[in-house]
Amino acid sequence: MPSTGAPTVAFTTLGCRLNQAESDSMAEQMAAAGVGSPATGDDPDIVVVNTCTVTREATKASRSALRRVARAHPGAKVVAIGCYAVSDADEVASIEGVDVVLGNDDKERIAEILGEERQTAPLLQIAPPVRRSSVQAVRVRANLKVQTGCDEWCTFCIIPKTRGPLRSFNADGLVDEARRRVEAGARELVLTGVHLGKYGYDLGGDERSLIRLWRRLLEIDGVERLRLSSLLSRHLTAEVVGFIASEPRMCRYLHVPLQSGSDAVLARMHRPYRIADYVAALERAKILMPDVALATDIIVGFPGETEEDFSATKDVVRRLGFSKLHVFRYSARPDTAAADMDDEVHPEVKKERSRRLIALGNQIRSAWLDAHLGRRLDVLVEDEREVDEGWVCSGQTDDHVRVFFEGRNLYGSVVPVEATGIRADGLKGHLLAEAALG
Minimum CB separation of residue 257 from ligand SF4 in Å reads 7
Minimum CB separation of residue 324 from ligand SF4 in Å reads 18
Minimum CB separation of residue 249 from ligand SF4 in Å reads 27
Minimum CB separation of residue 369 from ligand SF4 in Å reads 28
CB 225 within 8 A of CB 253: no
Q: Give dist(CA 131, CA 137) in Å, integer.
A: 10
- How many CB atoms sit inside 10 A of residue 220's CB? 16
* Nearer Cβ to ligand SF4 (195/227): 195
Minimum CB separation of residue 54 from ligand SF4 in Å reads 8
Determine the distance from the C-alpha atom of residue 64 to the mean position of all C-alpha atoms in its chain, rounded to a whole number.
21
Minimum CB separation of residue 160 from ligand SF4 in Å reads 5
**Could you give the C-alpha distances from 378 to 25, 115, 215, 394, in angstroms and in order?**
29, 44, 22, 12
Q: Give dist(CA 147, CA 300) in Å, integer.
A: 28
* Nearer Cβ to ligand SF4 (252/268): 268
Residues 6+ apart with CB under 8 A from 15: 50, 51, 52, 54, 58, 62, 82, 83
* Nearer Cβ to ligand SF4 (300/380): 300
Minimum CB separation of residue 16 from ligand SF4 in Å reads 9
* Nearer Cβ to ligand SF4 (66/150): 150
**Could you give the C-alpha distances from 153 to 85, 249, 294, 317, 356, in angstroms and in order?**
20, 33, 24, 25, 29
* Nearer Cβ to ligand SF4 (267/359): 267
Nearest CA-CA partner of 358 in 370, 366, 369: 366
* Nearer Cβ to ligand SF4 (294/364): 294
Minimum CB separation of residue 210 from ligand SF4 in Å reads 16
Nearest CA-CA partner of 307 in 337, 268, 262: 262
**What is the CB-side half-sphere exposure of residue 349 using CA atoms within 13 A?**
13
- H or E, element range at 188: strand 188-192
End-to-end CA distance of the chain: 49
Q: How many residues does the chain have?
A: 438
> 259: phi > 0 → left, psi -120 to 50 → alpha, else beta; which?
left
Minimum CB separation of residue 254 from ligand SF4 in Å reads 16
* Nearer Cβ to ligand SF4 (39/146): 146
Residues 6+ apart with CB under 8 A from 356: 314
**What is the CB-side half-sphere exposure of residue 37 using CA atoms within 13 A?**
14
Strand 141-145 to strand 188-192: parallel, antiparallel, or no bridges (unpaired)?
Answer: parallel
Minimum CB separation of residue 157 from ligand SF4 in Å reads 3
* Nearer Cβ to ligand SF4 (38/160): 160
Paired residues of 385 in beta bridges: 392
* Nearer Cβ to ligand SF4 (31/299): 299
* Nearer Cβ to ligand SF4 (157/186): 157
Minimum CB separation of residue 15 from ligand SF4 in Å reads 12
Helix (H/G/I), strand (E/B), else coil: 13:
strand
- H or E, element range at 161: helix 159-163
The site for ligand SF4 (CB under 6 A) is made up of 150, 152-154, 157, 159-160, 194-195
Q: Give dist(CA 24, CA 258) in Å, integer.
A: 28
* Nearer Cβ to ligand SF4 (117/297): 297
Nearest CA-CA partner of 269 in 315, 214, 229, 309: 309
